[in-house]
């Protein structure tokens, strides 16, 4: 059986369309985010994202996993612009989006439950979150850690209800022998981001994975490449993060990168191919590859 090819990208932070911020937003957390964007906007460039999308297209993945922060202020105009961009990335059945904290900056005035992206979050008629998308030997388990937070915070939370449903889902998919790929915006392992950016109920998720297992976890949010593990019932579960898909790269933040993840479900093994932005050519080039043995359940 040929490997299942999954492309992972994250944190595109699409440029806000003109008029994305209205006067009413300036009393909210969006104001702080707008100030931050004046600095970060230079870091995230549409032409970088365009080159990255083309590079993923040339790889012709079986599926694309996008772990959040498509927008900056979670306005309706940005949600509509992000929807138009998603349509260029691939058919909704072939692209799964896990929302990020920037997609849920404020509760009030935010589009209801990410409605404009519905087709990219879950399969028709399926409940979310977690949303389960079964694709051949792989089951994508899409979590939502995006939640409105107080100013100065960028933390995430899954909540008891979502965790409760996740338990039964992992158990069922494990019994069916599917290769379970968990998607979540916030890193679930400690030490990758600071406390103010962290997943609040990471210990509860960790306890659940330790008992019920998963074969791979993908996250974003850190804007850095990160490889870590979480304990599972049959060994360590690999946890992978990618930098922002639109970053030119400066200071401590690397330039844009995406991962081709080739899953061999019979061997419970994955090969990760990292491709990153070349500062010289503006094109994407290979950065290296490595093989990870997953839990041998
Ligand atoms: Fe981000
Ligand atoms: Fe984030």
- Domain ranges for the chain: 4-293
CA of 12 to the centre of ligand 1 (A): 7
CATH architecture of residue range(s) 4-293: 4-Layer Sandwich (3.60)
CA of 102 to the centre of ligand 1 (A): 7
Q: Which ligand is nearest to the CA of 185?
A: 2
Triad 157, 160, 171: Cα angle to 5°: 105
CA of 106 to the centre of ligand 2 (A): 14
CA of 267 to the centre of ligand 2 (A): 33
CA of 130 to the centre of ligand 2 (A): 19
Contact 225, 242 (CB under 8 A): yes
CA of 27 to the centre of ligand 2 (A): 21
Report in angstroms the alpha-carbon separations of 253 from 221, 224, 236: 12, 6, 28
CA of 13 to the centre of ligand 1 (A): 7
pTM: 0.93
* Half-sphere exposure for 189 (CA within 13 Å, toward CB): 21
From first to last of its 297 residues, the chain has per-residue pLDDT tens of 899 999 999 999 999 888 666 655 655 666 666 666 666 668 899 999 999 999 999 999 999 999 999 999 888 899 999 999 999 999 999 999 999 999 986 654 455 768 899 999 999 988 889 999 999 999 999 999 998 888 788 999 999 999 999 999 999 999 999 999 999 999 999 999 999 999 999 999 999 999 999 999 999 999 999 999 999 999 999 999 999 999 999 877 889 999 999 999 887 889 999 999 998 899 999 999 999 987 765
Contact 146, 68 (CB under 8 A): yes
Return residues with CB closer than 5 A to ligand 1 (ion). Answer: 11, 69
CA of 65 to the centre of ligand 2 (A): 15
pLDDT at 16: 87
Strands (DSSP E) contained in the chain are 4-9, 63-66, 95-97, 131-135, 138-142, 179-183, 216-219, 226-232, 235-241, 257-264, 269-277, 284-293
pLDDT at 220: 98
CA of 177 to the centre of ligand 2 (A): 32
pLDDT at 82: 96
């Amino acid at each position: 059986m040929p490997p299942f090819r999954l492309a992972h990208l994250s944190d595109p932070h699409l440029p806000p369309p003109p008029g994305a911020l209205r006067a009413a937003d300036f009393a909210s957390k969006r104001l702080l985010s707008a100030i931050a964007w004046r600095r970060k906007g230079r870091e995230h460039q549409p032409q970088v994202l365009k080159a990255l999308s083309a590079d993923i297209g040339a790889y012709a993945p079986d599926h694309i996993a996008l772990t959040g922060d498509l927008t900056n202020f979670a306005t309706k105009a940005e949600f509509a612009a992000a929807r138009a961009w998603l349509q260029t990335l691939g058919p909704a059945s072939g692209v799964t989006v896990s929302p990020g904290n920037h997609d849920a900056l404020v509760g009030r005035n935010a589009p209801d439950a990410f409605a404009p992206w519905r087709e990219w979050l879950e399969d028709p008629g399926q409940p979310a979150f977690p949303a389960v998308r079964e694709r051949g030997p792989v089951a994508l388990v899409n979590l939502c850690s995006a939640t409105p937070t107080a100013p100065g915070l960028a933390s995430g939370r899954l909540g008891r209800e979502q965790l409760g449903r996740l338990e039964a889902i992992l158990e069922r998919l494990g019994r069916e022998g599917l290769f379970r790929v968990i998607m979540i915006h916030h890193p679930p392992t400690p030490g990758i981001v600071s406390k103010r950016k962290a997943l609040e109920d990471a210990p509860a998720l960790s306890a659940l994975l330790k008992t019920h297992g998963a074969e791979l976890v993908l996250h974003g949010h850190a804007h850095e490449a990160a490889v870590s593990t979480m304990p599972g019932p049959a060994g360590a579960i690999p946890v992978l993060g990618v930098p922002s898909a639109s970053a030119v790269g400066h200071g401590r933040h690397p330039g844009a990168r995406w991962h081709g993840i080739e899953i061999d479900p019979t061997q419970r093994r994955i090969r990760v191919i990292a491709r990153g932005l070349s500062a010289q050519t503006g094109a994407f080039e290979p950065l290296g590859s490595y093989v990870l043995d997953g839990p041998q359940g």
